[in-house]
């Protein structure tokens, strides 16, 4: 497994030079937050990721988790690393100061989450979902619920989960069967089984607060009859101390393809005591607070696996000698040339690099939109940011995880046969990456959400907002001939995006299955255009720095070179997705289901 080194220079470039962090915070009235504070946090987080978490990545994968006497035990070193994580105050960064949090905006913590996740994604799963539990209780809980659960969730003394799916329903939550019976004291007794619960049980915190979907007696069928409940692993006494063990047990640990250091549990609820959070039968609406947070968190996973694959492959490609360059020896004194001289190795390395760096820009930008939603005093500004974030979330989650999976696969390929061997760590990175396109809504589900709900059902309002932002950027810099190689193709696909959307909408008026036929290609097209916009912005900043002779000139030259690769070798993929969309529905539906095998 490669030693992870946080790309601090690239993070600072985005935060300070592209996204103008200080201006962003000042505009929101966050005087106590500035670039100097964020930089100090990044330095410390980079040390924690490299020194504490990265060394546990391979050992956690090899050891995995164990279930003994009803208790999940995490791999060696995980519990101790978590204690130091809490001691360092990392879980509380974005928490409400009323409950022990530091009150920092979400954008300040996003690079920290990326570093921790890249160093050890399996470990990151334990604290990762707690933030969503906090957000859900903050937004939908009663004052009493907030006072009971938020202080220790905020500090990380307790962790949280979300318990959605069941064996028979998968992502179709309208089919779930877990029941919640009201009790005379205002609580509920929950009975049922949930599967695929990340960090559903472990030994790292004294309590785990489960956010659980269940049905009340007489509730309507389908998604309209789902309610949301707080169900702790350990009940809490009136003085806040741990009480009796609740009726929720880990029945088994899933045997997975990857992220083996993360306990993915089957949880059995047997007369488990819980409390309703939010209105009756509106649980799915409330849960979206949790799910949207988790989806943006999963987008980070795409960046993480692309970055780790790139770092490992780059080091190997510089050192591995194999064959000679087609244009003549580049290492004449050695028996062969380093494989980094070969164009195909460069193609794979630059693909991973451009996905990691472009994806980082997208997620950091989305986190700034989150700041506006949470902190702005301007209602209209909050509304627009919320709508734009809703549009970009499925793109970030699904596109970046698909692209990150591709980059992780390139990491294996650069190593050749050695990439398939465990000791190098590239095969673990690929295995760990594979789940990212599935959980928190598969790529297909995210694609339907994007095209169906976020675009067509809103008559393209949010999409027009986004394409206007891209259009405005292209117009603003169109007179700069040095940027034409980026702006002209970006403007073309941006315009084509709107035309293609109208064509899909027209077909869907005749047959709504056209939406499903087009959706994944539409999402991937959207992702390539969106990353193209961020690469154009990064290229524009790098060009200005080079023109003015400012800063690290080599860094800016390399940034321009990577942008050029993206526009010449990655953005043209949009043409293939457009062609597939135009291929339509009929060729997908021509075969009867029973004839697929022949």
Element spanning 213, H or E: strand 208-214
Cα–Cα dist 578/524, whole Å? 10
Burial-class residue 555 by CB neighbours within 10 Å (0-12, 13-18, 19+). middle
Cα–Cα dist 321/440, whole Å? 41
Judge contact between 213 and 227, C-beta under 8 A. Answer: yes
Cα–Cα dist 504/460, whole Å? 12
Longest Cα–Cα distance in the chain = 84
What secondary structure letter does DSSP report for 219? P
What is residue 353's three-state secondary structure? helix
Cα–Cα dist 114/109, whole Å? 9
Residues whose CB falls within 8 Å of the CB of residue 386, separated by 6 or more in sequence, listed in order = 369, 373
440 is catalytic: yes
- State the sign of the Cα–Cα–Cα–Cα dihedral 38, 42, 45, 47: negative
Cα–Cα dist 301/194, whole Å? 24
Bridge-based pairing of strands 188-198 and 264-276 is antiparallel
- State the sign of the Cα–Cα–Cα–Cα dihedral 453, 455, 461, 462: positive
Cα–Cα dist 473/468, whole Å? 8
Catalytic residue among 166, 387, 406, 440: 440
Give one DSSP letter per residue of 510-564, joined into a string.
H-THHHHHHHHHHHHHHHHHHHHHHHHHHHHHHHHHHHHT-S-HHHHHHHHHHHH
Give one DSSP letter per residue of 112-174, joined into a string.
HHHHHHHH-HHHHHHHHTHHHHHHHHHHH--HHHHHHHHHHHHHTSSEEEEE---TTTTT-GG
What is residue 217's three-state secondary structure? coil
Cα–Cα dist 65/305, whole Å? 22
Judge contact between 436 and 259, C-beta under 8 A. Answer: no
Judge contact between 403 and 477, C-beta under 8 A. Answer: no
Q: What is the CA radius of gyration of the chain?
A: 24
Q: Which of 54, 216, 23 is nearest to 121 (CA)?
A: 54
**Catalytic residue list:** 440
């Amino acid at each position: 497994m490669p030693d992870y080194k946080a790309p601090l220079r690239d993070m600072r470039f985005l935060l300070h030079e592209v996204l103008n962090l200080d201006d962003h915070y000042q505009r929101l009235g966050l005087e106590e937050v500035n670039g100097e504070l964020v930089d100090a946090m990044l330095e410390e987080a980079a040390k924690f990721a490299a020194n504490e978490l990265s060394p546990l990545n391979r050992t956690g994968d090899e050891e995995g988790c164990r279930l003994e006497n009803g208790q999940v035990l995490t791999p060696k070193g995980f519990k101790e690393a978590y204690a130091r994580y809490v001691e360092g105050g990392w879980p509380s960064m974005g928490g409400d100061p009323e409950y022990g949090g530091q009150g920092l905006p979400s954008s300040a913590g996003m690079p920290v989450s990326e570093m921790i996740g890249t160093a050890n994604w399996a470990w990151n799963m334990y604290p990762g979902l707690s933030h969503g539990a906090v957000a859900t209780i903050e937004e939908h809980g009663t004052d009493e619920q907030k006072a009971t659960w938020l202080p220790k969730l905020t500090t990380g003394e307790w962790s949280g989960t979300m318990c959605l799916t069941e064996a028979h329903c998968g992502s179709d939550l309208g089919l779930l069967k877990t029941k919640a019976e009201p009790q005379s004291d205002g609580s509920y007794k929950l009975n049922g089984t949930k599967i695929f619960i990340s960090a559903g049980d472990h030994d790292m915190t004294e309590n785990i607060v489960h956010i659980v979907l269940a049905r009340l007696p007489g509730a309507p069928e389908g998604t309209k009859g789902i309610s949301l409940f707080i169900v702790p692993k350990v009940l809490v006494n009136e003085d806040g101390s741990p009480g009796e063990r609740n009726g929720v047990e880990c029945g088994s640990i899933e045997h997975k393809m990857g992220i083996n250091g993360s306990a993915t549990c089957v949880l059995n609820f047997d007369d488990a005591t819980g409390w309703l959070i939010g209105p009756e039968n509106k649980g799915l609406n409330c849960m979206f607070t949790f799910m949207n947070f988790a989806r943006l968190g999963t987008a980070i996973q795409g960046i993480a696996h692309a970055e780790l694959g790139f770092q490992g492959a780059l080091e190997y490609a510089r050192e591995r000698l194999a064959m000679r360059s087609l244009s003549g020896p580049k290492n004449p004194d050695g028996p062969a040339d380093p494989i980094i001289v070969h164009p195909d190795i460069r193609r794979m390395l630059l693909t991973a690099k451009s996905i990691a760096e472009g994806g980082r820009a997208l997620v950091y930008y989305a986190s700034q939109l989150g700041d506006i939603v949470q902190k702005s005093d301007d209602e209209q500004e909050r509304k627009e940011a919320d709508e734009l974030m809703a549009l970009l979330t499925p793109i970030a989650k699904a596109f970046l995880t698909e692209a990150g999976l591709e980059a992780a696969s390139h990491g294996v390929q650069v190593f050749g046969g050695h990439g398939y061997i465990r000791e190098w760590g590239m095969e673990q990175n690929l295995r760990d990456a594979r789940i990212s396109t599935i959980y928190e809504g598969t790529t297909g589900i995210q694609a339907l959400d994007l095209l169906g709900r976020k675009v067509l059902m809103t008559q393209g309002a949010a999409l027009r907002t986004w394409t206007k932002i891209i259009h405005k950027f292209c117009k603003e810099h169109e007179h700069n001939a040095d940027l034409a190689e980026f702006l002209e193709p970006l403007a073309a696909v941006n315009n084509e995006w709107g035309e293609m959307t109208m064509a899909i909408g027209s077909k869907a008026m005749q047959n709504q299955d056209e939406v499903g036929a087009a959706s994944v290609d539409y999402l991937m097209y959207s992702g390539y255009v969106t990353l193209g916009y961020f690469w154009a912005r990064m290229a524009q900043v790098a060009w200005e720095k080079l023109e003015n002779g400012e800063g690290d000139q080599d860094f800016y030259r390399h940034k321009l070179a990577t942008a050029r690769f993206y526009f010449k070798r990655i953005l043209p993929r949009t043409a293939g997705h457009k062609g597939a969309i135009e291929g339509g529905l009929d060729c997908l539906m021509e075969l009867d289901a029973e004839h697929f095998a022949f």
